[in-house]
Chain A
């Protein structure tokens, strides 16, 4: 079970082939093998949400998933979402509202927020708070984050209306 395993996947639209030990988790794979350090490791047991990434369209805790489990999958990290422009309005709202201080939770927070906005175009504050309730932020007290997500939802709804 300790011999390296060949895996291949798409990460941020790029084909990636790698040899990984079966015990390597996805967060460490992204950070240490692909140098995608925007995915952060906060608790290493699925509680804090800092390592949230998207695998085949669903957000996951990359510290709770093994790299071998994403063989054949499409993975998106904060770097990918930033470069594609998918969340540029959300990022701008975070910047304007100062919805981040140290920034360590921010990539995971943006991942979770975008996940909500893809499911629910007009979430209210309670729904936003509930959806982000698995992402720990020690700095902001959350209100600015909720404000930024709410204003992004309203702006998107306005554009699509």
Chain B
């Protein structure tokens, strides 16, 4: 890891600061010893287990549903239909007003009358154990009349294709058209114009812990406690209350350890809503843990885009225009509450984003189909936009016979050109494409790799280098969801207090799913306060216990929650120094806090330890001077206001070998340089990047939900749906350029999605580079052996 020196920020640049340092995450021992508490581990008194009877058909009418036999099975508490549950919980429609024209149909917690995808729940069986519920579920008799399934998004809008929701009139959920500059003229004046069709497989998150929830309705308190592995507890609170007819204060959402999320656990799922309602109906705790088949059939899927792309270029390498026509299929409903139009919308926003070109035309269409629902998964839209953009840039370079690095150097926005905006209207505060590219080239030793490639080609070994520049949306303001009417908080809050022994308790509204939210909060608070990290305890993931806030998604935890922590700690620090000055009969400006004690600014001499100060404040306030009321707790909130998003940037490179006989790809090395602003913990940032890259590599090489023409998911298990395993993954070198955002004192932008954004594009470009002698271009992922061998005409 290498890191550029950043400008120091006074409040963080203090003695013993933890900012910019690699320190281990607090509380890891819990996870390392198998003593974490995931929702799937939870047991409550009288807890029942729900298993859902799910449709085997992609599209069918429910003719009849008979739970009589199941009800008599051992241990069964209830068999509940969609109609019965609808009396407890209301349906929802996943639309947002700022996505103009987006439409969807009402969705119920359990299907009523009709099922729209294979895996949609038609009944719930609640029993004393999961095994008993599963046994009984097999005896729920459901008669279906199969309807024609709409599966191919390419024909979903055809006149003779059935309309999935008659009330909507057609299968078009959303369309966006955007034009900037003089596109036709730019293409006409280009020296070369290249077109390609890019195909992206539908894939999914495969969190190792499936979605899990325990809902506990306490009829005496008239209060529902939801234990759920979610990224956004306050969002869940709002929606559960809304659809169960409760006030938000009647719903508590508790989120303990979460076994992977990646955007999968930021949505509201029908079976989770059903579980909340079942607890209310049955007046007891009900637990739902998806099994792996259910996960594949009901966890949101993502990508599944077909995108026509076109680029114009001058002989000198100047890119003259980009044009795209993107089509994506989202299943039968737009997801709730974030909607399923965001990914296509992001693709329109992001294509061409790193470059100076001003001529851009885009169309994106989002269509309904009878497959599992699709929605936002890590790096929403970025891998599509990056693969299309960077694929086109490489094709243009090839056409004019220019080195792929050189064409980028000639078109990337200059590092001193900020602030500026993209042709799609994105505003960039400060990016560093050229510095990042320069650093990457040094790290990978580009010229040596080219020489090695040439030498090996003579021996019939086909290696390729692929480069992909990218931009990433982080720190979203209310522009993402709030302006469209979703009650998803864009702001986050942090409360810090000094306890009676001089330790710090910190409650934050961001959540932890392994990224290091607890660590970064403790690092910031400890640094600002001058308290050692082992004395900072962070509480998160509980709507009763933390300030109100958005949670952890869209690369926002560090940038937004971190800034709230910094500001709260600054106030507490001031309050502590005020009390200390009163006790020590001096001025607050003469004092500082260093390593858990008040010291003189002048000579660093220790004056009073924090635990002694706390003792006086809490137990002997009578000894303080008159008129002093210490406030050893402070709360602050933060939301970005100036920029809708804090864009980050970076560049990735892949070095790989294609076996032209078998079609297998061996990843040899991967490099990333990214700029996430202030780095709070270098190790955590690097590991976010690496993990993100590997998820992108999964999409590039392996992952695809394979549906047949009847809408049956044919590989809904971990043996047939391939994910990256340790044997196939390369080592990944990560470097940084640091351009802090000036919107916050902390200066941090997000880093969680950068890896996923550009990995597939780098790999695709590397494969095409490797296969150059064969005169074939592949613009489809995953790059399976079948795809490679087909392109090589070997099969």
Contacts and interface: CB of A to CB of B under 8 A. Distances in A.
Interface size class of A (residues with CB under 8 A): 35 or more
B11 to A, nearest CB: 26
A47 interface: yes
A129 B30 CA distance: 25
Nearest to B513: A102
B719 interface: yes
Interface stretch (A66-74, A93-101, A152-160): A93-101
Interface residues of B, number: 56
Contacts of B196: none
A136 B259 contact: no
A5 interface: no
Given A48-B208, A98-B684, A129-B727, A104 B259 contact: yes
Nearest to B206: A138
A50 B206 CA distance: 13
Given A31-B41, A140-B691, A141-B732, A100 B32 contact: yes
A91 B34 contact: no
Contacts of A139: 260, 514, 691
- The residue among B516, B684, B718 with the most chain A CB atoms within 10 A of its own CB is B718
Contact of B24 (A47, A50, A96, A128): A96
B727 A133 contact: yes
A82 interface: yes
Interface string A1-38: 00000000000000000000001000000010001111
Given A107-B34, A140-B690, A142-B726, A95 B207 contact: no
Nearest to B759: A141
Interface string A28-66: 000100011111111111011010000000000000000
Contacts of B34: 36-39, 77-79, 82, 106-107
Given A103-B259, A133-B726, A143 B731 contact: yes
A141 B694 contact: yes
B260 A102 contact: yes
B299 to A, nearest CB: 12
A134 to B, nearest CB: 7
A145 interface: yes
A117 interface: no
B744 interface: no
A114 interface: no
Contacts of A101: 513-516, 687, 691
B40 A41 contact: yes
A75 interface: no
B729 interface: yes
B69 interface: no
A136 B719 CA distance: 11
A43 B208 CA distance: 8
A132 B726 contact: yes
A96 B687 CA distance: 12
A98 to B, nearest CB: 5
A102 B258 contact: yes
Contact of B31 (A43, A79, A106, A143): A106
Given A82-B33, A103-B514, A144-B690, A43 B292 contact: yes
B795 interface: no
B29 A91 contact: yes
B28 interface: yes
Contacts of A132: 726
B32 A82 contact: yes
Contacts of B43: 35
B33 A138 contact: no
Contacts of B260: 102, 104, 138-139
Given A100-B32, A138-B208, 8 more contacts: A102-B31, A102-B208, A102-B257, A103-B257, A138-B691, A139-B260, A141-B693, A146-B726
Interface of A: 23, 31, 35-45, 47-48, 50, 77-79, 82, 91, 94-98, 100-107, 110, 125, 128-130, 132-146
The 7 closest A-B pairs by CB, nearest first: A38-B34, A103-B31, A101-B514, A104-B259, A141-B694, A78-B34, A102-B514
Interface of B: 24-25, 28-38, 40-41, 43, 131, 205-210, 257-262, 291-292, 513-516, 683-684, 687, 690-695, 717-719, 723-727, 729, 731-732, 755
